[in-house]
Amino acid sequence: MKIRGKVYRFGRNIDTDQIYPGRYLELHEPQEIAKHVMEGASASFAAEVRPGDIIVASTNFGCGSSREHAAIALKKVGISVVIAESFACIFYRNCINLGLPLLVCPKVSELVTQGDYIEADLAAGTVKNITQNTEVQGEALSEHIINIIRAGGVKPLFKAKFGQG
Amino acid sequence: MHALEKILAKAAGLPRVRPGEIVNAKVDLAEVNDLYLQAIKSFHEMGGQKVHDPNKIAFVLDHYAPAPTIQSAANQKVMREFVWEQGIPHLFDIDAGVCHQVMLEAGLVYPGMVLVATDSHTTTHGAAGAYGTGVGATDLACIMLTGEMWFRVPEIMKIELSGTLPHGVMAKDAVLHVLGKLKQDAAVYKAVEYTGEAVAAMSMAERMVLCNMAVEMGATTAYIAPDEITRAYLEPRLGYWPEVAHTDADFTYWATYAFDVSELEPQLAAPHSIDNLVGISECQGTKIDQAFIGTCTGGRVEDLAVAAKILKGKKIHPHTRLVIIPASREVFLTATRLGYTEALVEAGATFSTPGCGPCLGAHQGALAPGEVCVTASSRNFPGRMGSTQAEIYAASPAVCAASALEGRLADPRKYLVEGGYRK
């Protein structure tokens, strides 16, 4: 599974309050949630982001609150993959559950700058910077997780297996 | 195996588990709070009609208690209706308080259980010897549908706190000190166990603070081996005492860190990250606009007690607000019976009813641009309590009370007589 897109670059410890501020937590429709994506970290992101864009960040992306709104917002605006040096564990689960792929790639923040075009290979775990013609090796996604991503998240899988009608 | 591994192994029906392994484990209690209408939506989206076991589900309406907007009121309405329709026996409505405090007080938390909640601070329940972890809405919906969840068995790190906390220095100061040294990504997807003589001497309330803040270093769960203090707190609430699994003597920890707390001064996490630590001596005098005492981190009886001790018979600074929100109804009642509520209100505190309050910037004390707040809660992320242009210092309830009194960041030790509140 290969994903190509333009990079939005973020730093260390981007918490879920920055991805999706607490004052909007009462919202539950994805299109309403998406209007506030990354609002605590960047005032312009929500207006500028385009479907297919890629977020690249340093360590501990998604730390803090367990709010699934953070994953819903990124998924709804069409972020194709988030690549970071490490992810907070609840955020990681939330994104995979919704079918939004995440790639752990220890050196990725040295590889890319804002606006670069990159290609991530989820099964191989590689990140290729097309703009700068460089490449780094990250952690390949397991077959189990790739199957969840292909299905569009856990909901279709659980519906098929456990749905009560 | 570690006690936490034994808990997961038992819940997964396996003889043993190893770090890194993925296991499907039965969940003893799944709790949903009122930020997570999506849990019900996801349940329906997956074709759910009846929950797997209503007795193993709790709903706590705490983050928007009482509802500040029409939308949050509408969300709570849907949740109540779901609870009643599904026959879920554990509904803690807006009168109850913060989920973690409420579940412990209600006797729903016991050593050896697996507790999953839609709240990152579910690590708190390690103080009761439970495997507690936070999830998002869809994971919780999967549990409501199947009674199980997949876990990656975490590596376990040990944090040993030796020595004795000095007067006026609290568990919050100890855990902030640890965060300042280890940093906020030190335990990403690890379990954190706290041990040592300082932990052994702590009350349950103080142990809850340590475990609560473990998530701020990235931990998926936390643990303190149950002892007589745990038992004295839990047994009357449970009505029994379960058999407790112990860590094997030959267990090897992923990492061990040791800290002596004997010489600690009050600690503050300065804006805008929880590992940006300063001692009170480095920042006292900084003007504040608001102090906040409350939440699953700093809103227990002991926290209101130290604030009352500092503020009784005095008035807070005229340019400062002091917002106090007891963590639960039981905390509020106890603090009232003991006279703390009266002392604090007379000193100028603004009380709100039990719940999460302004911790997440939703209501009851949000911050304006340019304001400075000192808080007994757990997070000082940009915009956490309102404006991203506000500055938040996270500290102990004692520091918050002393700072409200002086209108600037202040050292509480001068207000706490030797042999004071810890006795």
All structural domains of chain B, each given as residue ranges with its CATH number in brackets, are: 3-238+252-259 (3.30.499.10), 269-415 (3.30.499.10)
How many Å apart are CA B76 and CA B92, to the nearest integer? Answer: 11
Axis crossing angle, helix A89-98 with helix A143-151, rounded to the nearest 10 = 50
For residue B422, count other CB atoms closer than 10 A to its CB.
18
Is B366 in contact with A28 (Cβ distance < 8 A)?
Answer: no
Among residues 155-214 of chain B, which lie with CB inside 8 Å of chain A? 184-185, 188-189
How many Å apart are CA A144 and CA B147, to the nearest integer? Answer: 20
pLDDT surpasses 90 at B265: yes
Question: Residue A77 belongs to a domain with what CATH number?
Answer: 3.20.19.10
For residues B45-66, give the mean pLDDT: 98
Q: Do residues B343 and B312 make contact, with C-beta atoms less than 8 angstroms apart?
A: yes
Strands, E, within B1-68: which ranges? Answer: 22-26, 29-33, 57-60
Q: Which two tokens stand for residue B166?
A: 């000095």
Q: Do residues B7 and B114 make contact, with C-beta atoms less than 8 angstroms apart?
A: yes
Establish if B388 touches chain A: CB-CB under 8 angstroms. Answer: yes
How many Å apart are CA B57 and CA A66, to the nearest integer? Answer: 18
How many Å apart are CA B198 and CA B192, to the nearest integer? Answer: 16
Among residues 25-44 of chain B, which lie with CB inside 8 Å of chain A? 35-38, 41-42
Is B120 in contact with A68 (Cβ distance < 8 A)?
Answer: no
pLDDT digits (tens, 9 = 90+) for A55-109: 999 999 999 999 999 999 999 999 999 999 999 999 999 999 999 999 999 999 9
How many Å apart are CA A136 and CA A129, to the nearest integer? Answer: 8
Q: How confident is the model at residue B303 (pLDDT cuts 50, 70, 90)?
A: very high
For residues B121-138, give the mean pLDDT: 98
How many Å apart are CA B83 and CA B81, to the nearest integer? Answer: 5
For residue B279, count other CB atoms closer than 10 A to its CB.
16
Nearest chain A alpha carbon to B22: A144
For residue B162, count other CB atoms closer than 10 A to its CB.
14
Among residues 229-258 of chain B, which lie with CB inside 8 Å of chain A? none
pLDDT surpasses 60 at B420: no
Report the SS3 class of residue B388: coil
Report the SS3 class of residue A84: strand
- The pLDDT, as a whole number, for residue B15 is 98
- The pLDDT, as a whole number, for residue B422 is 47
- The pLDDT, as a whole number, for residue A80 is 98
Among B204, B201, B242, B220, smallest CA distance to B117 is for B220
Percentage of chain B lying above the pLDDT 90 cut = 98
Residues from chain A contacting residue B184 (CB–CB below 8 Å): 13, 60, 63
Residues from chain A contacting residue B118 (CB–CB below 8 Å): 66
In angstroms, the separation between the Cα of residue A132 and the nearest Cα of chain B is 30
Give helix then strand counts, H and E, for chain A: 8, 7
Beta bridge mates, A82: A55, A102
In angstroms, the separation between the Cα of residue A103 and the nearest Cα of chain B is 15
Place of tokens 């639960």: B328
User: What sign does the CA torsion over B161, B378, B182, A140 have?
Assistant: positive
pLDDT surpasses 50 at B347: yes
Q: Do residues B144 and B30 make contact, with C-beta atoms less than 8 angstroms apart?
A: yes
| Interacting residues of A160 by C-beta distance below 8 A, sequence separation 6+ | none
Q: Do residues B394 and B410 make contact, with C-beta atoms less than 8 angstroms apart?
A: no
How many Å apart are CA B8 and CA B2, to the nearest integer? Answer: 10
pLDDT, averaged across chain B = 97
Report the SS3 class of residue A139: coil
Q: Which among A17, A153, A154 is the nearest to B384, CB-wise?
A: A17
Which comes out higher in pLDDT, residue B330 or B418? B330
* CA distances (Å), origin B76, targets B119, B239, B354: 17, 31, 16
Beta bridge mates, B60: B33, B92
Report the SS3 class of residue B293: strand
Q: How confident is the model at residue A164 (pLDDT cuts 50, 70, 90)?
A: confident
When mean pLDDT is compared across A28-37, A130-139, B410-419, the lowest value belongs to B410-419
Chain mean position to CA A80: 7
Is B139 in contact with A28 (Cβ distance < 8 A)?
Answer: no
Helix (H) or strand (E) holding A120: strand A117-121
Nearest chain B alpha carbon to A65: B120
For residues A2-15, give the mean pLDDT: 97
Exposure of B52 in the CB half-sphere (CA atoms within 13 A): 20
For residues B334-360, give the mean pLDDT: 97
- The pLDDT, as a whole number, for residue B421 is 46
CA–CA–CA angle A95, A97, A102 (5° rounding): 35
For residues B321-335, give the mean pLDDT: 98
Q: What are phi and psi of B88, to 5 degrees?
A: -75, 120
pLDDT surpasses 80 at B202: yes
- The pLDDT, as a whole number, for residue B418 is 61
Q: Do residues B137 and B38 make contact, with C-beta atoms less than 8 angstroms apart?
A: yes
**Domain housing A57:** 2-162
pLDDT surpasses 80 at B217: yes
For residues B108-113, give the mean pLDDT: 98
Give the CA dihedral B242, B244, B245, B248, nearest 10 degrees: -160
For residues B148-157, give the mean pLDDT: 97
The pTM of this model reads 0.97
ipTM comes to 0.97
Among A10, A24, A15, A107, smallest CA distance to A54 is for A10
Q: Which two tokens stand for residue A135?
A: 């490449």
Q: How confident is the model at residue B362 (pLDDT cuts 50, 70, 90)?
A: confident
Q: How many domains does chain A have?
A: 1
Q: How confident is the model at residue B423 (pLDDT cuts 50, 70, 90)?
A: very low
For residues A39-51, give the mean pLDDT: 96
- The pLDDT, as a whole number, for residue B274 is 97
Compute the residue count for chain B.
Answer: 423
pLDDT surpasses 70 at B54: yes
pLDDT surpasses 90 at B7: yes
For residues B148-167, give the mean pLDDT: 97
Q: Which two tokens stand for residue B270?
A: 């300065």
For residues A144-163, give the mean pLDDT: 96
Nearest chain B alpha carbon to A25: B35
